[in-house]
Structure 1
Amino acid sequence: MTSTPIRAVVNVDLPGATISRHLYGHFAEHLGRCIYGGFWVGEGSDIPNEGGIRLDVVEALRALGIPNLRWPGGCFADEYHWRDGVGPRDERPRTVNSHWGDVVENNAFGTHEFMQLCEMLDAEPYVSGNVGSGTVQEMSDWVEYLTRGDDSPMARLRRENGRDEPWTVPFWGVGNEPWGCGGNMSAQTFADLARQYATYVRQHSGNSVYRIAAGASDGDYRWTQTLMEALGSVERPGELRGVFQAISFHYYSMTGTWDRKGSATDFTVDEFYRAIAAAAKAERFIEGHSAVMDVYDPEKKIGLVLDEWGTWWDPTPGTNPGFLEQQNTLRDALVASVHFDAFHRHADRLVMANIAQTINVLQAMLLTDTETGALVLTPTYHVFEMNRGHHDARALDVHLLDDAPVRESSAGDVRTLSASASRKDGRALLSLTNAHDADAATVAIQLRGATAGDVRGRILTAAAIDAHNTFATPDAVAVTTFEGFSLDGDVLTVTIPAHSYVTIDLAVDTAD
């Protein structure tokens, strides 16, 4: 049923912070079939490739405007030693990936292959350095190897391995989850190490590095406070040492326990709402970490990065449990859309986010079939694609004048309407999520400060909340044209079907 319209206001002529395209970043770890069998098939594969990298994967991700790619982990980063992955592939040593499946890593995909992938994707590399089992010298050498242009020792080694010119590497992660798989450290221990390691992540040959210190899990605000104290003091707010430029944190949306996370495809309506509630909790953590950072950095010079996020369900039955393979349903897509609305609202502090992970692992964009080489786009992929217009746009606040609808669940009352908006190049993009499992929702949005026209709509939905794309039915959840809206003067009225994600793109003419 359709309810009485919910009134909202968007002041189109009052744009806020810029929504960095890097909030739509991705994450590729040496985990399961994300790299091997995902990005990388090898030069001898029958699957079309360039230098061993799958061309259909590159094409699909380029359609998203993928802004950055984080690699090599994740937990794998803190047992990865970069020299194992350079030089002739047949001479690279084999190592053990103890975190993910306890499998042998042949290091066929290393630094040069990753940088080639980023160039093919037109994405900026985000390299995660090894603090847990590495050394300061090792990290310093890797930065030099990648980015130095003269005849330094590491630049010469790079040339010996086939690359003359240095690469541009704008983002560098200092460690990963040091409170857990990255070393089981205390906050203070890691803060001291972060200052030390980051000092030696140097700017070579004009390459400007944005250093990201590994941060908290979920709402561990004490961890963020400790890292901020490593940069400055309450007595001298704003006087921050430029050791690192951002702090990360990780948050995964789950409905069960760590040992029993629940099925990716076989779930109840209550579990559906619990997932939406878990997604909404991400905003609370963003606000909490931002509040701590504001004490030390009221001018928001230090960025907040959510470089691992997404749903985490039990692995697909019959797969290696250490490979974290899972299907991706309409539920996952709506979890993503709720996250993005929160990201847009906090674009003044949140500068980057990286979904976990790009292919075949956790909340993936793409799934590939090992036997046939087939590729399928997931519902989450479509949310990323529908939101391309938000990249580097100015955020617009969506003010609800009426209470948002709620649905009761075992997680408490769950808001089922989520919205955000932005403006760029004479157009506005509105994102609207109706997470009610059965009822449509109508929103009447007054567009103040602008003349609107040329309205276009798109929708992502399906017959059921557990609908998902398979190799046999790749378009069970797909984007279609949406016409459930009307524009009367400055009021845009949109009726959003149940369990749907809608974007409205329109021309806006403002006086500014």
Structure 2
Amino acid sequence: MVSKLKINSRRELSKRDKKIFGQFLEHFHRQIYGGIYDPTSAFSENNGFRQDVLEALKRIQVPIIRWPGGCFVSAYHWKDAIGKQRTPYFDKAWRVEESNEFGTDEFIEYCLLLGAEPYICTNAGTGSAEEMSDWVEYCNLPSEGKWAKLRIENGHPAPYKVKYWSIGNENYGHWEMGAKDVKEWGRFVRESAKMMKRVDPTIELMAASISDLDWNLDLLREAGQYLDWISIHDYWDKVQENNDLSDYETCMAYTMDIEQPILKTKYILGSLGYLGKIRIAYDEWNLRGWHHPHVNSGTEDYLTPRDKNDINSSYTMADAVFTACFLNQCLKHSDVVGMANFSPIVNTRGAIFTHQEGIVLRPTYFVFELYTRYLGDIIVDSWLSESSIFHVDTANMTKSIPNVDAIATKRSGSEGLRVALINRHPDQAESVTVQLDSSIQYSNAVLYSVVGDSKDAYNDIGKEHVRIIEQHLNWKIPSDLTVEIQPHSVNVLVIK
């Protein structure tokens, strides 16, 4: 069966925010130290930043980075990580000593070098509203007050002008330091937001949330007037304790569950009158959760198992295809989803892996490269018909998975089309006929594809089995355009 994609390019649905291609960094394992920051590496300059990582991130046009966590932030005190005298402490989230060598000033410098917006997540666990507002003062006030003056003393005379701030991280969860209940959270966010926006009324504020009615009812009733965003998180392959990764087919079943939390959160915002006023930041997401077993154990090794996150064979075309399906949902709902932060960007489950001799670009990296380089910013109306399906048996039920997932875009000021086409099927190529508006004159078409030698293909040191290929299509204009997309592939069709 040939899948048919009908596109009404005249009907523009929304304009996507480039922040949906955002990234995330936490002080966990080798994301900061040995990841983006490694003064001992031959790839680092005097500032300690690995230049090979920096250049790779520039290639995918990272728009925004969320930092410093994550669970880490809920017992993090930023004042110990500025200036010449850094105070190490024992990080109770991950049970390691944190040197505080990389702090606010280093993070801002890194964002400036990268050309990305800094997004700071604050300590709403063991921290206070005053500590959060002092952080805004340090970053954003020109010279008023103790903390702005200290920034100047530390060698940074110009304010950092950090626009995006989050109150907390997963404070609804029992695993978080300083977890809060529903009633505590709304009032805490309100009082924190008041102080932060008194320091700088121009900042945009998020609050840790979840796609849950009760949590959001209280949060929005108490603090909605101060918020610009609410933050939600998800990992679908939950392997925190046991690193038994789901196979390709199960990961495709997970793609059918991406949209639900977006819709649920959107409906909650709408029911309380906040659609168009508060947007969704999916500011921590990945297919696979981070592996960190025994974190509460007094007898079992909780550090060494974290190295399993660095096994490159874990990251296959399943990760690439899932990532593309996730981004397609963000694009589809870009009227309300304005930010998403892949968790994390370097090491752990990241798109980039660092080692002594260089870096490995994992399959997810190429999806970001494909989408940021070739897709457009205007989402136009499109729909699939006659698409084939395959079936996956999960623990709870048999799921029907459409072979093809698609979304159509164009760039501002252009009639050309840029269509994301994903083939979820593990081993079957798929033909897609794109039905175009006959009133628009098109000239040529190019298909850019992230492909792997098999559904389990991965990249490793000295091995690149996943890559981007380019194909100029033989198309008899003005007939409809039929393209064949490889199995387990992510594609962007550019029609000029």
TM-score when normalising by structure 1? 0.88
Match of 2:166 among 166, 173, 176: 173
Contact conserved, 2:420 with 2:490, CA < 8 A, in 1? yes
Residue 322 of structure 1: how far off its partner (Å): 4.1
Question: How is 1:224-239 mapped onto 2 (pairs within 5 angstroms)?
Answer: 224-231=216-223
Matching residue of 1:510 = none
Q: 1:64 aligns with which of 57, 60, 64?
A: 60
Distance verdict in 2 for CA 1:258–1:35, change over 3 Å: closer
1:187 CA displacement: 2.1
Cα deviation, 1:149-195, whole Å, max 9, x if unaligned, reads 02421111001111111012110010000012153322221111111
Q: Does 1:38 align with 2:21?
A: no
Q: Contact 2:376–2:418 at 8 Å: present in 1 too?
A: no
- Superposition deviation, residue 274 in structure 1: 1.4
Amino acid at match of 2:54: V
Q: Is the 8 A contact 1:10 1:446 kept in 2?
A: yes
Are residues 1:259 and 2:246 paired? no
Structure 1 consecutive aligned stretches of length 4 or more whose deviation exceeds 6 Å: 316-319
Alignment of 1:259-408 (within 5 A): 259-263=241-245, 271-297=247-273, 299-312=275-288, 315=291, 320-322=304-306, 324-327=309-312, 328-362=315-349, 364-369=350-355, 372-389=356-373, 393-408=377-392
Q: Secondary structure at the match of 2:12?
A: coil
Q: Which runs of 5+ in 2 are unaligned?
A: 294-300
Counterpart CA distance in 2 for 1:316 and 1:258 is 5
Segment of structure 1 superposing worse, 389-398 or 52-61 = 389-398
313-322 or 169-178, which moves further after superposition? 313-322
Structure-2 separation of matches of 1:365 and 1:150: 39
Aligned letter for 2:221? E
Q: Cα–Cα, structure 1 residues 37 and 248, in superposed 2: closer, same or farther, change >3 Å?
A: same
Q: Write the deviation string for residues 322-369 of structure 1: whole angstroms up to 9, x where unpaired.
A: 46445321110001011011111100011100010010012x121011
Work out whether 1:147 is the aligned partner of 2:134. no
- Cα deviation, residue 289, structure 1: 0.9
Structure 1 residue 483: Cα displacement: 4.5
User: 1:399-451 deviations in whole A, cap 9, x for unaligned?
Assistant: 11224423333252222311112111413211111011111111111122633
Aligned mates of 1:375, 1:389 — CA distance in 2: 21
Q: Distance in 1 between the 2:345 and 2:220 partners?
A: 30
Task: Tell me the residue number matched to 1:464.
Answer: 454
Pair 373,159 (structure 1): closer, same or farther in 2 beyond 3 Å: farther
Give distance in 2, aligned partners of 1:391 and 1:210.
Answer: 27
- Paired position in structure 1 for 2:229: 246
> Could you report, residue by residue, the CA deviation over 1:55-107 in whole angstroms, capped at 9, with x for unpaired residues?
1111110111100000000001111100111011xx2111112222x211111
Q: How far apart, CA to CA, are the structure 2 residues paired with 1:489 and 1:274? A: 40
In the alignment, the residues of structure 1 paired with residue 130 and residue 12 of structure 2 have an alpha-carbon distance, to the nearest angstrom, of 45
- Alignment partner of 2:204 out of 182, 205, 210: 210
Q: Which residue of 1 aligns with 2:69?
A: 73
Contact 2:60 2:373 in 1 (8 A): no
Note if contact 2:2-2:386 (Cα within 8 Å) is conserved in structure 1.
no
Q: Tell me the alpha carbon deviations over residues 22-79 of structure 1, each in whole angstroms, 9 at most, x when there is no partner.
A: 000000000010000001012x543232511111111110111100000000001111
Give 1:453 shift: 2.3
CA drift of 1:300 comes to 1.9
For the 8 Å contact 1:174–1:197, the answer to whether it is kept is yes
8 Å CA contact retained: 2:142, 2:159? yes
Structure 2: how far apart are the matches of 1:109 and 1:48? 14
Deviation (angstroms), 1:315 = 4.5
Identity %: 28
Q: Which amino acid aligns with 1:454?
A: N
CA distance in 1 between counterparts of 2:48 and 2:401 reads: 46
- What is the CA–CA distance in structure 2 between the aligned matches of 1:484 and 1:412, rounded to whole Å? 34
2:297 aligned residue: none
CA drift of 1:231 comes to: 4.6
Report the Cα distance in structure 1 between the residues aligned to 2:380 and 2:359, rounded to whole angstroms.
36
- Pick from 392, 396, 405 the counterpart of residue 418 of structure 1: 405
Instruction: Give the aligned residue type for 2:189.
Output: A
Q: Structure 1 residues 490-499 or 388-397, which shifts more? A: 388-397
Q: Structure 2: how far apart are the matches of 1:450 and 1:168? A: 44
| Contact 2:409 2:419 (8 Å CA) reproduced | yes
Does the aligned pair in 2 maintain the 1:260–1:314 contact within 8 Å? no
Give the whole-Å Cα distance in 2 for the aligned partners of 1:258 and 1:375. 25
**Residue 117 of structure 2 corresponds to residue 124 of structure 1:** yes
- CA change 1:24–1:117 in 2 (3 A) is same
Q: Deviations over 1:115-172 (max 9, x none)?
A: 0000011000000011101111111111000011024211110011111110121100
AA of the residue aligned to 2:127: G
Unaligned 5+ segments in structure 1 are 233-240, 508-512
> Is this contact kept in 2: 1:21–1:391, CA < 8 A?
no
Deviations 1:383-414 (A, max 9, x none): 00100157771112321122442333325222
Counterpart residue type for residue 107 of structure 1: N
**Matched residue, 2:298:** none
Change (3 A) 1:96 1:252: same
Give the corresponding residue for 1:238: none
Aligned residues: 477
Partners of 1:69 and 1:123 within 8 A in 2: yes
d(CA) in 1 for partners of 2:479 and 2:4?
Answer: 13
RMSD across aligned C-alpha pairs, in angstroms?
2.2
Letter in 1 for 2:353: L
Which residue in the other structure is 2:86 paired with?
Answer: 92
Shift of 1:204: 5.1
Specify the SS of the correspondent of 2:459.
coil
Task: Tell me if structure 2 keeps the 8 A contact 1:261–1:312.
Answer: no
Match of 1:111?
104
Distance 1:489 1:316 in 2: 55
Please say if residues 305 and 350 of structure 1, whose CA atoms lie closer than 8 Å, have aligned partners that are also in contact: yes
Residues 186, 223 of structure 2: 8 Å contact kept? no
**In 2, are the aligned partners of 1:395 and 1:423 still within 8 Å (CA)?**
yes
Q: 1:273 to 1:389 in 2, by over 3 A?
A: same
Q: Per-residue deviation at 1:203?
A: 6.1
Q: 1:34 to 1:396 in 2, by over 3 A?
A: same
Question: Is the CA contact (8 Å cut-off) linking 1:485 and 1:494 kept in structure 2?
Answer: no
